[in-house]
Amino acid sequence: MKAILALEDGTVFRGNSFGATTEACGEVVFNTSMSGYQEIITDPSYKGQIVAMTYPLIGNYGVNNEDTEARKPFVEGFIVREISKIASNWRSSDSLDSYFKKNNVVGIEGVDTRALTLHIREQGAMKAVITTQETDEGKAVESAKRSPGLVGRDLVKEVICSKPYEWNAQGKYHVVALDCGIKLNMLRILAGLNCKVTVMPATSSAADIMNLHPDGLLLSNGPGDPAALSYIVGNVKQLLGKVPIFGICLGHQVIGQALGGATYKLKFGHHGANHPVKDLKTGKVLITVQNHGFCVDTATLSKKDIEITHVNLNDNTLEGMRHKKLPLFSVQFHPEASPGPHDALYLFDRFVEMMKNN
């Protein structure tokens, strides 16, 4: 079936649909990963976004039951140059096309993704629509213009768990993971490091968290504009110094605000499994997984209390920080390493060490 990708600035791409036959809106961004599409489409941080893959052939190893990062796909739509007609892998249980049909996600193939990526790099991420239902390009562009976008939106409440649950019941250290749209591999890694993990929704109060007597608090990744999450920021402020805290991605942005900083929107964000980040303490360069459209403004952070630990080597934006006195650190990238290399897994060991020392 024919499909249209329409951007709010009037740019239109035509192609063929796969997955669901429907219409979806969101902010269109590009992801530079060569593989790991299953982890990308099930990452709750992509709620509200349409993802274009820069690698030209997607879907060749199908979909399996082990590599999902959440209970379902959260990406609004998916753009590829070519969808593989064959899904071949010993773990594969479904094709990407069939998986999208079952989960009502629309995809479009046959798009010049190089041209689209260059356009986003030059003009910035923007609102867009993928539709199999509208053939008039002008009307599709108008639909994109009317869509809500990401700025000022709290999408966390649309992806989190409805009530607390135990991920695993045994472990030396009890970690409360605050679910803002958490990727499951964070929980798997903590369990593998002998941690008992309890997951709580992001709407939980500071008192709810402390009533569980945690040894540490993990603030997870999640979607939307971090500046719209005053309720989470307020609760984290109450927890500073009371329990060791490790923040990842959105959790890092929440911590930045709790420490008095501000966030801002990046032109086209960082999305992919191959972004270089420098650890300023060791000098080592990590190849990291990234998925964020907002960033903490370094200039708004107190140099007296906060040490910058990591920077992005592509644009020098803030990628990591720690508090000089309190048991607290955070990173903007995804050290759980799925998809991507394992360069940053040591940060989970650091979190465990911080709980031990505390």
Catalytic residue set: 249, 334, 336
Contact 37, 340 (CB under 8 A): no
Backbone angles phi, psi at 119, to 5 degrees: -65, -45
**Which two three-digit tokens encode residue 211?**
């009533």
**Which two three-digit tokens encode residue 43?**
């990452």
Regarding beta strands 263-279 and 285-296, do their DSSP bridges make them parallel or antiparallel, or are they unpaired? antiparallel
Task: Decide: residue 300, CB within 10 A, 0-12 exposed, 13-18 middle, 19+ buried.
Answer: middle
Please name every residue paired with 51 in a beta bridge, in sequence order, or none if there are none. 29, 78
Contact 88, 112 (CB under 8 A): no
Query: Distance between the two ends of the chain, CA-based, in angstroms?
Result: 59
Torsion angle (degrees, nearest 10) of CA 240, 245, 250, 253: 40
Q: Could you tell me the sign of the dihedral formed by the alpha carbons of 99, 288, 258, 212, in that order? A: positive
Alpha helix segments (H runs only) across 32-95: 37-41
Closest CA to 329 of 222, 224, 256, 262: 256
